[in-house]
Each structure stands twice: as structure tokens, then as C-alpha cells.
Amino acid sequence: MDVAELLVMLAFTLPISFLPGPNNLLSASHSSRYGFNNSLPLISGMVFGWLILGAIVAYGALFIEENKNLLKGLTYVGVAYIVYLSYQISTASTVDNDEMSEEKLSTGTGIMLQLVNGKAFIHLLILMTSFGTVFGGSFIGKMIVVALNVGIKLIGWCVWGLFGSGLKERFDDPKASIMINRIFGFSLFCVAVWIAIPK
């Protein structure tokens, strides 16, 4: 294990994991609507999805990097999906307990968001091409990097989820809840626009 390279990787991963990206904002908005405990299936889906995506990128990093059209296509599919989620959040009303089980997002949604998230692809590509040999150049070594990365991401998702849950408890008024939904929905839409803009 290259300790210096590991420290640089952590310096790369930590700030990104706590910035307001699609996963963090979705964790916060869902928790503000349903509470943190009811958001755990969504967050667990994000974990599984990130691990699956990490395995795909670790195995085919060079192929994905060389096929720019594939990466661009996945990015725009992801943007469309994030815009759809932002619309669902911003137009949502308050939730009664009877409606909760029917409307809350599932583990599958968390997985799907990772698989169509162009930003996640780029993040993992950078991780693999820059730090993929921290634990050796084998596929197992790369998956250790992915697992460490998803552990840090999970902390960020939970922190944002707890933040959203705190908003739910603080602003229990239906009008305030709708306003919070619209703010989170608009923020998620802005993230989608940012991802879509050519860099």
C-alpha cells in the first residue's frame, strides 16, 4: 500500500463526498419528507449502486475512457433522470402516514441513480486512473479503493440525510414542508444543469 498516494486519494474524495451533488441532495430532500429512517433503503441503494458502478469502471476504465460518446450518452441519461427526480421532489405535497409507504423512494431508485450518473462515472474514472494502484494494480486492489470510497460517500449521504431529517422536525408546518421540497427540487435541477454543461 502506498500511504502517500492513499492520503492524496482521501484529500480528493473527502471534499467531493460532502458537496451538494445529486446523491446528497436526494438524501436530504427524501429525509426532509419521510425522515431519516425511511430514507435508509434509498441510501443503501446508493451504496449498492456505487459498488456496482465501481466494479464496472474498475474492470473497463480504459474502454469507457476511450469511448467518449458512451460517457456523454450516459451523462445525458443521468441528467434527464435527475431532472425527473427534481420535478418529483419540487411538486410533492406534504405526506400523510398512510401515503408514506406508497410514495417513498426505494433501494432500486438509489441503485439506478448511480448507474445513470455521469458525474459518478467521471469521479470513479479519475479514482481508477489516478489512484487505482494504491492497493495494487489487480481488480481486487481496485475494488478496495472503490469500497473505501463508498464508505466515505456513505458518511456524506447520511450527514445530508440527517440534515434533511432535522429540517423535517424543525419545520413541521405543511407550507414549510412544501417550500423545503421546492428548494431541494430546484437545487437538484441546478445540479443537473451543471452536469449537462460541457466542461
Is the pLDDT assigned to residue 99 strictly greater than 50?
A: no
Is the pLDDT assigned to residue 55 strictly greater than 70?
A: yes
Q: CA-CA distance, 18 to 154, in Å (whole number)?
A: 10
Confidence of residue 98 (pLDDT cuts 50, 70, 90): very low
**Residue 126: HSE in the Cβ half-sphere, 13 Å Cα cutoff:** 12
Q: Return the number of other C-beta atoms located less than 10 Å from residue 190's C-beta.
A: 13
At 123 the pLDDT is 77
